[in-house]
Structure 1
Amino acid sequence: MSVEVTNETAWQIDGKIFSDLGVWVMSQMRVSTQSDLTIMFVDPDPIAQLHMRWMNLEGPTDVMSFPMDELRPGDGGTEMEGVLGDIVLCPWVAAQQALAAGHSTMEEMMLLTIHGILHLLGYDHVTPEQERQMFGLQRQLLLTFFALRQGAGAQATLPAGTPDVLAEWDREHGAGGKTAK
């Protein structure tokens, strides 16, 4: 399995943790070791542009998934192989959501990574039943990953003095602090 992590933001993020998480989740979902995944961290403007282009929704969002080979979880006997796809995350939006949820930005981004991988594997949360299944699975995967790593403790941080580009985006676009969810 290959997981490429790219950070195009000012956030200091340990890409290895996200690479390890991606490999682990794909193995748990029985995706072939020959499969590829890309995880990219971007600022509010690039994700807002993707959000408008692909979903016709305004404003930055937390995570977007772009499947490639439309892989599905393996059935125990066979493992799906190919390019899983790309996940694009915005740490700025994740930080807002983490604050509201009462956990760290790193935990939120890890949850969003798992959420994005599940979307790439065909999971969705349109109906209440789909939401229960997907959110239950992503919670189980995240808690199990945390338990196996036993307090990795890594954090996503911003260098001192880094401007809040999400607040700047909101001011420039008249969003008044209302980013898309």
Structure 2
Amino acid sequence: MICTIVNKTRDASWKQYYARFEELAKRTCEKLKITEDISISVILVKTKKIHEINLAYRQIDRPTDVISFAICDSEDDYELEEEVKELGDVFINVDAVKEQAESYGHSEEREICFLFIHGLLHCLGYDHMNKKDEKKMFDLQNKILDPVVSR
């Protein structure tokens, strides 16, 4: 999997996590047995920008920690004739990463990686609209993340 990462925060310290995104993307493909060439875009933003995005695209007037835009809504839609299939975009709010890491009592690395996997899984068609789907998605997130970044 190819990860294209765009840092809109003007804070170079977030670059330290780029290799983790690549590693976790690879682990996700292995866990899900994805063998085709796929790519994901990750955009790091601050609270103001993700608030604007959330309002414009979801009509929710508040910031969020991560928001995903999948190019396709179902597995059937991935039957494209491209060499590399683009999954979509994952926007991560770095301000929320800092706040939530402190609130949950774990590292910023754990939080940003969790949000990355969460957004990636959404772009792969996973959701958590009901308890059964939530358990499936969150269990998968932890199976991917726990061996790489401790709690």
After TM superposition, the score normalised by the length of structure 2 is: 0.83
Superposition TM-score, scaled by structure 1 size: 0.70
Question: Which residue does 1:66 correspond to in 2?
Answer: 69
Shift of 1:11: 5.5
1:135 to 122, 127, 138: 138
Name 2:78's counterpart in structure 1: none
Task: State the match for 1:5 in structure 2.
Answer: 5
The amino acid of 1:27's aligned partner reads: E
User: What code does the residue aligned with 1:58 have?
Assistant: D
Aligned identity (percent) is 28
| CA deviation after TM superposition for structure 1 residue 17, in Å | 2.0
Instruction: Report 1:31-180 matches (<5 A).
Output: 31-70=34-73, 72=75, 82-146=85-149
Flag the structure with higher helix content: 2
Q: 1:68 Cα deviation (Å)?
A: 1.1
Structure 2: stretches of 5+ with no match in the other structure: 76-83
For 2:7, give the aligned amino acid. Answer: N
**In 1, Cα distance between equivalents of 2:110 and 2:56:** 28
More strand as a share of residues: 2
The residue that corresponds to 1:171 in the other structure is none
Give 4+ residue runs of structure 1 displaced > 3 Å after superposition: 69-72
How far the C-alpha of 1:23 sits from its partner, in A, is 2.9
Could you tell me whether the CA contact under 8 Å between 2:24 and 2:144 is conserved in 1? no
Q: How far off its partner does 1:71 sit?
A: 6.0
Task: Supply the distance in 2 between the matched residues of 1:67 and 1:125 (Cα, whole angstroms).
Answer: 15
| Structure 1 portions without partners, runs of 5+ | 73-80, 148-181
Q: Which amino acid aligns with 1:2?
A: I
Tell me, in whole angstroms, the C-alpha distance in 2 between the residues paired with 1:2 and 1:70: 20
Deviation, 1:35, is 0.8
* Corresponding residue for residue 19 of structure 1: 22
Give the aligned length: 139
* Cα offset, 1:69, TM superposition: 3.4
Q: CA deviation at 1:27?
A: 3.3
